[in-house]
Structure 1
Amino acid sequence: MSLTTPGGTPGTRPAREWPAFAEPEDVERIEAVPLAERDLPATTYEILVRAAEQWPDRVAVSVMPDAARWAEAVDVTYAELLATTAQVANVLRSRGVTPTTPVGILSPNCLGLVPAVLGAQAAGVAVPLNGGLSPQHLATLIERSGVEQLVVASPDLDEAVWAKVTELARGATLRRVYVLDPTDGTRTARASLDGVDVEYLLDAARAEAPAFDDPHTADDIAAVFHTGGTTGIPKLAAHTHANQVTDAWLIAADSEADADEEATVLAALPLFHVNALHVTMLAPMLKGQQAVWAGPLGYRDLALYGQIWKIVEHFRIAAMSAVPTVYAVLSHCPVDADISSLRFAVVGASALPQAVRTSFEEHTGVPLLEGYGLTEGTCASARSFASHPRPGSVGKRLPYQPMRVVEVADDGTWTDVPEGGVGTLLIGGPTVFAGYVTGRTADGFVLDHLGKVRDGWLDTGDLARLEDGFVYLTGRVKDLIIRGGHNIDPAAVEAALLAHPAVADAAAVGRPDPRAGEVPVAYVTLKPGTTSTEAELEAFVADSDLEAAAKPKTVTILEALPVTDVGKPYKLALRADAAGRALGGALADLPGVTGVEGVVGDGSVRVVVHVDATADPVAVRRRLDEYAVASEVVER
């Protein structure tokens, strides 16, 4: 299977100059030149146009059918990718897509997905969706974003996704579905849906012209990303083309990645996530680099870990990006190939345990560089430097992205915190998102920042301190444990537990308490080959230097800490578990209570109490009301 070759030889365009960006001091030097003078592409489609003009025959993407068949990866040049993206955009335009039309994308990574995403952003607005979400959540996101046309995985590519599409098609919203085949072209039967027009996207694209006139401006909406989560309905954050181009340019400006202009990047995160789009798709395109896409499952493919170092050697991978859990696994994968091309590995999305850093770097000799960002900030807002390590920091702010730390008063007013003080981290500049989608009109999306942005400053919800522009995260504002009015930073509790030689990872949350409101409890995982008990860990942390109020009441050992589908810690699930345990204990002596469970819904925790006919509902409610947590009683 191959993509369509363009019907002409692209022209040439003078190369743009890149600023030196290898040291922390370069941030301020880069900012001395106004961003408007940087000659950035106006849109994401223009990124691809420029790349195809300058490097038409260079490989843009190599896509594996799956990790086990990495040697069968399909190569696509920049000229071929531009032509196919243009054809996809023309298909969408001919089917009624306008610059403000949302086009949903529900597919794992495959050969057709890159031109599908870029083509959707060129013709309309891309709305990437996580196939791991429930059909109910997907239906809500589709309805909220106004999606009527949806790019999906075929049954041969992802049976589970196709089953959800079949269920979604029974609703009244979808009217057209475009299907993507697996990378190897397998098609056992033609997909169809009752009441919905279905066509194979790349088949339809071959009949279109390999050129497209991009109607968008830099300020138009390029994509809408859901903000993550596995329970509750995520918000939909809108990015402009300027948001995406600027952030991708700042990522690509990293001079440390350019030992070779044709450096290759490993891409194994799902394209519904902003990291995959910006770090491993748009940023490499700005420099004409090659991205190697590791099959539909990416880092979730167990076969990848047995082949990872051979893949690095074969493709001469220079950089990769993943979450801490991936590097924890890679630390135990024997290095059975020449990985000298791998200059560094980027880690983000969640805090990096020191044990993981040490283990990975000692095992591979490859430095782990932390980064920081969030969907509402487009993607990346801070980066680390291999030559200037700052232990404990996630990196220095990126150019043109000013940062502040403020104390938020009860009335919502902000007061700047002195250098080195802890407070709520704010980000300004051109990567601050356009707003959350709250509705649609005939002219496009209705957007509202919902209080997240004030006077151009994005409230990240993260607690941090700033030192010389370097960011030191200390926790999430909403994750603060408030014990009798005393604020407890969960990061301090977690650090105390991580000092135990058997603890691999730790998470501290608040457990409802009738007297203190909340008390800290902790959950941990153990390192392979080690043993410990909950009582031993509780004694260990009780003997630590933590202040008395912060010492956790209990420590629970789990096989794995809950994370979202993109690897971010999911503390809501732990808070729900803690609440269920607390109220379960409080109700244990009441007759008729048959079960108590903590659940998460719409981003909040509540406790569901199951009772039978012998229960005294007044007594149950009286006991529940002693706790500051939402609850409901269900008779069964």
Structure 2
Amino acid sequence: MSHLGLIRGLKDIEEIEKVPWTDRIKEKNTVELIENGARTNPEATAISFLESGDSFESPMRIAFKDLMGRIRQTANMLYDLGIGPKDVVSYVLPNLPQTHYVLWGAEAAGIANPINPLLEPAAIRDICVSVQTRVLVCLGETEGNDIWEKVNAIRKEIPTLKFVVQVMGSTDKAENIIGFDEMLESYPSDQYIFTRPIKPEDIASIYHTGGTTGTPKLAMRTHCNEVIMAYDLRIMAGFNTGSTLLCGLPLFHCNGTIVTGLAPFAAGGQVVMLSPMGYRDPSIIKNFFKIVEKFQAESFSAVPTILSSLLELPIGDADISSLKYVICGAAPLSQELFRRIESRTGMKILEGYGLTEGAVASAFNPKDGERKVGSVGIRMPYQSVKIAILDENGNYIREGKCGEIGAVTIKGPNVFNGYLEESHNQGVWMPDGSFSTGDLGRIDEDGYLWLTGRKKELIIRGGHNIDPAAIEEPLFQMPNVRQVAAVGRPDPYAGEVPVAYVEMADGVDMDENQIMQWARENIGERAAVPKEVIIIPSMPLTPVGKIFKPALRWDATRRVYEKELKQLDGIAEILRIDVVEDNSHGIKVTISVEPAADHGMDTIKQRINELLSKYTVFYEIEKAS
């Protein structure tokens, strides 16, 4: 893996591509990749693990030779438990060194399936059933953690499951439960007890992505996908032997596992694991800049919400001069937040773009060239990023012109071959084999990609497309505003109108009228001025830390329907209005009513239908039980 020079723009990418990737990248799988990184300096620290942010002075250190030893032992154990190349090992774990042993050991023996520990038991079960899990690795019964409770509740509902392996747990042979830590020691660390030639096209991992309702959306990635991605990340983010990265994103998500896992390991770099909870641990954020100084960290990966938290954290006397880059993705970064972070810390923000289906990243702002604030950068080596113009049914019409907004498509050796469930593969592949990401964007004359939202995030007011960023950027510049999210609210005349949800800094006394006045004065597009501002104590977030806009759309819909149904004139009491994601209708509203005396449900339904007739959001009416 060579060519880790300057990346100033597309010309440097094209120069790299003069050598085919098959000639440049010799490793055929992730196992070879980590082994080669470990050989760079076997005694060097691969992982520094912090129990919490308060214990950063005394980390657990794991050398590369020990990391590889543990991965081999884990692979040997899994092989002994019956795992072969096509068998799936699922894991439900926080961020622990053992999580890396399990992930890469599973990819060596079979197929790894990381699962979000925050999911409800039924969702965990559904994923395991879909991938046909044979071994499920989870955290044992530990204080302050409910992972074992969840797994224990559903383990007998997974027909293919042969063994449950407990990290920090004990063995119960009668129940086919294995204690990971005690069992591991019985396997050799210097060699594999099985022979498996892992081909580039072999499935390495299956990650769940998208919503968690209905059939799980499971992306199958090959060893080639992940090896290529590690190479691209090293080039674009400047990971080198001896580099130190901080890992605070979860290891069930490919940002955590690849950006702050496989890529630095392949380079012989150190990963500092910021506690089992990562950035969700308040003590990590509190001590963040001290941790940077302690480990002389060069970079870290984060989402905008994390950067917002760090902006309010005093640097004090911490020396953070080692920081070169922060890799930011998952959501478009506010220009104002970009400016504030860079001016305060002196590091460069490398805003990028990618998704699980592309092994994590497809575009990056060049580390040595122009970083266009608000864009997500140029395509990465050996990848194609294009704009497709689609018709209203999602059918391909043509490639987008320079600056034209359309569907973002990706193609390359990093892009997966499809979802496990065939129904999810319908309508996502373009005629040239590109994958349609579901995001909307444009590419400028210099090859920089600008995201304009997802199809579902664009606010369409009377046929006029409003980019949420046109609302969010000006509001974020208002003093004491911590987070902003603009979504569409159902409207009887325009279809939908924009509303803004705002989270204020702690202790700030400000009302919606003040924010609305700022919006009128600072939002350049009249149609984009929100119809309403709603102050909330905290934004709903995904487990990765991205603002979960569907929850805000649901809340906005609920508020509209509640207001309309106040006109029921005493014929019924509305007990509850639930708004949820729905596979058939996108959003579904369930209205639970209690009829007043002498009024039947037919009369009530007729009146509700009259009140809601101009709205397009699907609803059902039920009598309260």
TM-score, normalising length: structure 1: 0.90
Q: Can you list the C-alpha shifts for 1:245-304, whole angstroms capped at 9, x where unaligned? A: 10111001236454xx31111111111000011111110122111111111011011111
Q: Can you list the C-alpha shifts for 1:308-365, whole angstroms capped at 9, x where unaligned? A: 2222122121111111111111122222322221112111111212332233223322
Distance change (3 Å), C-alpha of 1:560 and 1:255: closer
* TM alignment of 1:453-492, pairs within 5 A: 453-454=429-430, 455-467=432-444, 468-492=446-470
3-state SS of paired residue (1:61)? strand
The residue type paired with residue 514 of structure 1 is P
Distance change (3 Å), C-alpha of 1:286 and 1:382: same
Deviates more, 1:553-562 or 1:599-608: 599-608
Q: Match for residue 257 of structure 2?
A: 277
Question: Pairwise CA RMSD of aligned residues?
Answer: 2.2
The residue type paired with residue 112 of structure 2 is A
Residues in 2 aligned to 1:382 and 1:201: alpha-carbon distance in whole angstroms: 38
- Which residue of 612, 617, 625 corresponds with 1:629? 617
Distance change (3 Å), C-alpha of 1:201 and 1:157: farther
Residues in 1 aligned to 2:566 and 2:25: alpha-carbon distance in whole angstroms: 67
- Which residue of 87, 93, 100 corresponds with 2:79? 93
Residues in 1 aligned to 2:522 and 2:139: alpha-carbon distance in whole angstroms: 51
Q: Match for residue 220 of structure 2?
A: 238
Q: Match for residue 115 of structure 2?
A: 129
Q: Match for residue 18 of structure 1?
A: 3
- Which residue of 317, 328, 335 corresponds with 2:308? 328
- What's the offset of the Cα at 1:191? 6.5
- What's the offset of the Cα at 1:203? 2.1
Q: Match for residue 356 of structure 1?
A: 337
- What's the offset of the Cα at 1:588? 0.8
Q: Match for residue 398 of structure 2?
A: 415
Residues in 1 aligned to 2:578 and 2:371: alpha-carbon distance in whole angstroms: 41
The residue type paired with residue 45 of structure 1 is V
Residues in 1 aligned to 2:410 and 2:3: alpha-carbon distance in whole angstroms: 24
The residue type paired with residue 244 of structure 2 is T
Residues in 1 aligned to 2:346 and 2:526: alpha-carbon distance in whole angstroms: 40
Equivalent residue pairs, number:
604
- What's the offset of the Cα at 1:405? 1.2
Q: Match for residue 555 of structure 1?
A: 533
Deviates more, 1:172-181 or 1:93-102: 172-181
Residues in 2 aligned to 1:103 and 1:523: alpha-carbon distance in whole angstroms: 40
| Contact 2:239–2:269 (Cα < 8 Å) also in 1 | no
The residue type paired with residue 606 of structure 2 is V
2:412 is the counterpart of 1:429: yes
* TM alignment of 1:558-569, pairs within 5 A: 558-569=536-547
Q: Match for residue 36 of structure 1?
A: 22
Residues in 1 aligned to 2:306 and 2:481: alpha-carbon distance in whole angstroms: 17
| Contact 1:331–1:364 (Cα < 8 Å) also in 2 | no
* TM alignment of 1:89-238, pairs within 5 A: 89-156=75-142, 159-173=145-159, 174-181=161-168, 190=170, 196-210=175-189, 211-212=191-192, 213-229=195-211, 234-238=216-220
| Contact 1:40–1:245 (Cα < 8 Å) also in 2 | no
- What's the offset of the Cα at 1:18? 2.8
| Contact 1:42–1:245 (Cα < 8 Å) also in 2 | yes
The residue type paired with residue 299 of structure 2 is A
- What's the offset of the Cα at 1:71? 2.8
The residue type paired with residue 144 of structure 1 is S
The residue type paired with residue 629 of structure 1 is V
| Contact 1:587–1:593 (Cα < 8 Å) also in 2 | no
Distance change (3 Å), C-alpha of 1:421 and 1:601: closer
Residues in 1 aligned to 2:414 and 2:50: alpha-carbon distance in whole angstroms: 32
Q: Can you list the C-alpha shifts for 1:361-419, whole angstroms capped at 9, x where unaligned? A: 23322222211111111101111234422122122111111111122112412322211
- What's the offset of the Cα at 1:592? 1.0
Distance change (3 Å), C-alpha of 1:337 and 1:483: closer
* TM alignment of 1:233-382, pairs within 5 A: 234-254=216-236, 256-258=238-240, 261-335=241-315, 336-382=317-363
- What's the offset of the Cα at 1:231? 6.0
- Percentage of matched positions with identical amino acids: 36
Structure 1 unmatched runs, 5+ = 1-15, 182-186, 439-445
Deviates more, 1:124-133 or 1:136-145: 136-145
* TM alignment of 1:497-536, pairs within 5 A: 497-528=475-506, 530-536=508-514
3-state SS of paired residue (1:410)? coil
Deviates more, 1:588-597 or 1:465-474: 588-597
3-state SS of paired residue (1:459)? strand
| Contact 1:265–1:318 (Cα < 8 Å) also in 2 | yes
| Contact 2:7–2:13 (Cα < 8 Å) also in 1 | no
| Contact 1:502–1:532 (Cα < 8 Å) also in 2 | no
Deviates more, 1:137-146 or 1:232-241: 232-241
- What's the offset of the Cα at 1:618? 2.4
Distance change (3 Å), C-alpha of 1:67 and 1:544: closer
| Contact 1:62–1:291 (Cα < 8 Å) also in 2 | yes
| Contact 2:236–2:366 (Cα < 8 Å) also in 1 | no
TM-score, normalising length: structure 2: 0.91
